[in-house]
Amino acid sequence: MRTLQRRTTAVLIVSQILGGLGVPIGIALAPVLATEISGTEALSGLAPTASVAGTALLSIPLAALMTSRGRRPGLVLAYLIGALGAGLVVLAAVIENFPLLLLGMAGFGAASSANLQARFAAADLAPPDRRARAISTVVWATTIGAVLGPNIAAPAGRGFAGTSIPQTAGPFLWAAGIFLITGLVVAVLLRPDPLLTARALAPPESQSAQGRSLRAGIAAVKASPQARLALVTVAVTHTVMVSIMVMTPVHLGHHGAGLELVGLVISGHIAGMYAFSPVMGWLSDRVGRLAVIGLAAGLLCFAALLAGTAGPSHAQTAAGLFVLGLGWSAGLVSGSALLTDSVPQQARAAVQGLSDLTMNTAAGIGGAAAGLIVSQAGYGWLNAIGACLLLPMATLALLAARRSTRSPVTTEVETEVKD
């Protein structure tokens, strides 16, 4: 089992590094490209929002495919759809068609869905007391590609100078090729499938096909207060991060930042998201999921304060985005581990798909609203509203901590470790 877990983790790490090279290109350039094609900043938030919406809409079909066929087919299909979407974005830029751009970005979001689902694949075979660290290791692997990706955008764009492809769209061709390679790596090397293996090793009473449906997943979440807290955590954390992040390139542009500087700031933000995830995983396993959820709320509030009051200071904006990434990492790792802990094994794939649907739907709404908020009220107000969204998450975490203090119970992690 240890050898199989190491092999699975290694393949997922490679796929995350490669996928990380492509996904951040959309993060850095989608708002800029949307502004160029539409001619107005009010619609700039719709392109990254379309990507998030695509990630959300594909979460349930991909989860259903993984539930019936395993992680590998779902991840491969997601990367193929992401490559197709990136190609449509380039075509939309060439013919200056805004609706086609949104369609392409929706398909592009499938690659983000694959990167998110990979964290759960890492947890399939992990021991319960190391589950958060398994998740965080795969999340960390995205750092290498994610930090390099935005900085490759400018050279990749210049490579299409003199052609009909705009420089802001050229990097999406790079992303399409990367997604195709990543899908091939997963298809060839992710064997045996971690989810199917974990299911085969589970007790016979937990292998009922009826317990794997989306309805069973919803029932499992309703039955567990901790699962509900986990869903709120990943949804709010992701929404706050996406809403602030997608409008930061536009904010920087207002204060004279070029494409290279925007790429550098986004790289720092993504480094905060991924590079310290092993620390968040270690903390989640050692001091508890609830404590790290509280840490996430504090970091995200501080990030909103830094970025929202930065004004023309590029350095302070970059610092705010870095802390924003740290808060996202703490919330995603602790929330994902708590969610996996809190539901039965047979319902996990469905619940995990429901989690990604919830978080990306909420983030899509936030991203769409972000463009309107910035155009009407400003970047500072966007950060203030983002901080206010954290109140429900912090309140639920506090109530859960009080319940566990008043009536201690043996968690699934403790039970499985004892067994």
Dihedral sign (CA 375, 379, 383, 384): negative
Distance, CA of 312 to CA of 300 (rounded, Å): 21
State the average pLDDT over residues 349-368: 84
Q: What is the pLDDT of residue 414?
A: 41
DSSP at 126: S
- Note whether 129 and 417 are within 8 A (CB): yes
Distance, CA of 238 to CA of 328 (rounded, Å): 7
CB atoms within 10 A of CB 209: 10
Q: What is the pLDDT of residue 205?
A: 54
Question: Which of 74, 350, 129, 342 lies closest to 233 in space, CA to CA?
Answer: 342
Distances (CA, A) of 336 to 202, 305, 371, 388: 20, 26, 29, 22
Read off the tokens for 332: 């995603």
Distance, CA of 216 to CA of 220 (rounded, Å): 6
Distance, CA of 147 to CA of 286 (rounded, Å): 28
Q: What is the pLDDT of residue 211?
A: 57
Among the listed ranges 8-22, 113-127, 247-261, 300-314, which one has the minimum average pLDDT value?
A: 247-261
Question: Structure pTM?
Answer: 0.77
- What is 232-291 written as a DSSP string? HHHHHHHHHHHHHHHHHHHHHHHTT--HHHHHHHHHHHHHHHHTTHHHHHHHHHHT-HHH
State the average pLDDT over residues 223-232: 92
Q: What is the pLDDT of residue 156?
A: 67
CB under 8 A, 24+ apart: contacts of 400-404: 400/225, 400/226, 400/229, 400/290, 401/290, 401/294, 403/225, 404/290
Q: Model confidence over 180-212: pLDDT tens digits?
A: 999 999 999 998 999 888 888 876 655 555 556
